[in-house]
Structure 1
Amino acid sequence: MKTTRLQLLTLMLFGIGGGGVFAADPAAPVVAGTQSMDGKVIFQTVCAQCHGTAGEGKVELKSPSIAAMPGWYMTTQFANLREGRRGQDAADPQSFMMAAVAKALQPEQIKAVIAHVEKMPMVVPMGKDREVADAKAEEGMRLFQERCMECHRYNGSGEMTFGSPPLIGRQGWYLAEQLRKFKTGKRGAMKNDVNGAKMVQITNFFVEDDQMLRDVVAYIMTLNPDAKASLEEQKRQILEGSPFESAGR
């Protein structure tokens, strides 16, 4: 039987029978395997090397913050990764690696780690994770309200009905990179990825250039609450939405 590139990567990452081994790229972290069914153990063993111990993500690995990501969205993404709707393009190494991780975990392990991640406190992007170079948030507000708000809500908190994930709590550089991947077909172009196809269409028809892309991401960053505020105050700020007086509610 012919071994695919994804199967080879899975073997290199996890070894046969779930034992942890070194990743193929020496600059990448070692991703270990586990037989545990405890979501916290699975996260710290398998996920934390790339996504951080608090789920905050790592810019050097281009891995997103996933803390507090809703379970319904993670369930869909794991299914996409396992069933070939995402992570098939080697030119998108982060998703390619995640497909290997998703295939290596047992279904019950996936459910357990999703339940754990969903309960983790959201990590508010700060510093370089929040900065978007050469961007004007005021310009991005118009595009967000016209094309993004209907699905991702006025405050970027996401909407299960539309399969739209929260945008707050994600790093600016990560959001920008995902929009570029949708626009170039590295993400969302696989058959039966309905929500991904919507994003491919939106980025190609309405995001005219990289300046517009940076502007809308800069605006999304303004929807994040103050990282130093209490959890109750953060919730209030999220519900309040945009800091711009002219922003729609």
Structure 2
Amino acid sequence: MKIHRRHLTLVLLSISGAVLHAADPVVPVVAPTQATAGPMIFQTVCAQCHGAAGEGKEELKTPSIASLPTWYLNTQLTNFREGRRGHDAADPYAFMMAAMAKALQPEQLKAVAAHVETLPLVVPTGKARDMAGTNVQEGMRLFQERCMECHRYNASGEMAFGSPPLLGRQGWYLAEQLRKFKTGKRGAVKNDVNGAKMVQITNFFIEDDQMLRDVVAYIMTLNPEANASPEEQQKQIIEGSPFKSASAAGQ
């Protein structure tokens, strides 16, 4: 497949300073492609960082994106493309995502978003799910009071509120995004309406990092069983409830 070398050079120039001087591991740089089919764009541009199944990679600080709805992905990719996300070179991973979004054409972004939605949910396990030193019951209380209205009782998300599903995302990633909202590293740019709501929520109702980690630990309990069939997983998600007994996991 022919690759746009000129685009690759621009991407390299735009992110090299931020990534190479970051304390975190260097992120692989992938060339954008001329492809218009979502699966091909995903394998060429996205899979090296997000994994072949969209499962994400902790060492690269990339989230699991498998099964995220098209409406949410389109919004976030547009945010990256238009500078509402990934505008700070001190956040090299988001900065690189912005560079990638700008290197692809809008129709390519829509195609890859549609493909990602078809990828099976990847349920977090092990380190991606474990939240040691947390109080799941306290997290459940906070989720009921502050999160459930927008993200639904089972954390499956709600398009009407612009709230993504939280299921399938790694615990460390959810915690990091909440910290970014709380510190204004995400959601503070003009015209990011849904991000601004999260900035308010995290600042007014999440008092400290312990509370933040508690609510993430509870969200982890709403994930379906990793080894269940897709049909059974969907059933477990629908039947999920913030009022069920929270397990002792993470306590």
- TM-score between the two structures when normalised by the length of structure 2: 0.88
Q: Indicate whether 1:181 and 2:180 are aligned.
A: yes
Q: How does 1:98-247 map to 2 (within 5 A)?
A: 98-242=97-241, 245=244
Match of 2:50 in 1: 51
1:16 aligned partner, one-letter code = R
Q: Displacement, 1:112?
A: 1.0
- 2:6 maps to what in 1? 16
Moved over 6 A (4+): 19-23
Q: CA deviation at 1:78?
A: 1.2
Q: Alpha-carbon deviations, 1:58-89, whole Å to 9, x = none?
A: 00011000001000001111111111111111
Q: What CA distance in whole angstroms lies between the structure 1 residues aligned with 2:84 and 2:108? A: 20
> Structure 1 residues 15, 230: closer, same or farther in 2, change over 3 A?
same
Unaligned 5+ runs, structure 1: 1-13
**Secondary structure at 1:86's aligned position in 2?**
coil
2:232 partner SS = helix
Aligned equivalents of 2:7, 2:230: Cα separation in 1: 41
Distance (whole Å) between structure 1 residues aligned to residue 91 and residue 150 of structure 2? 25
Change (3 A) 1:241 1:189: same
User: Across the two proteins, how many residue pairs are aligned to each other?
Assistant: 234
Give, in angstroms, the shift of residue 245 of structure 1: 3.0
Alpha-carbon distance, 1:246 to partner: 5.8
**1:141 CA drift (Å):** 0.2
CA deviation profile, 1:80-116 (whole Å, cap 9, x unmatched): 1111111111222221111101000011111111111
- Is 2:66 the partner of 1:76? no
Instruction: Give the match's secondary structure for 1:16.
Output: helix
Q: Is the 8 A contact 1:124 1:227 kept in 2?
A: yes
For residue 15 of structure 1, report the CA deviation from its aligned partner: 4.7
Please tell me the residue identity of whatever aligns with 1:223: L
CA RMSD of aligned residues (A): 1.8
Are 1:86 and 2:76 counterparts? Answer: no
Measured in 2, the distance between the counterparts of 1:171 and 1:84 equals: 25
Runs of at least 5 residues in structure 2 that lack an aligned partner in the other structure: 21-25, 247-251
> In structure 2, what residue type is equivalent to 1:134?
G
Instruction: Give the SS at the match of 1:50.
Output: helix
- Supply the distance in 1 between the matched residues of 2:130 and 2:243 (Cα, whole angstroms): 18
Letter in 1 for 2:214: D
Query: What does the per-residue CA deviation read over 1:137-184, in whole Å, with 9 as the maximum and x for residues that have no partner?
Result: 111000000000000000000000000000001000000000000000
* CA shift digits 1:38-69 (9 cap, x unpaired): 11111011001110000000000110000010
In the aligned structure 2, how far is the partner of 1:219 from the partner of 1:112? Answer: 33
Identity %: 74
SS of residue matched to 2:194: helix
**In the alignment, what sits opposite 1:64?**
63
CA–CA separation in structure 2 for the residues paired with 1:178 and 1:72: 19
- The aligned amino acid for 2:37 is D
**Which segment drifts farther, 16-25 or 172-181?**
16-25
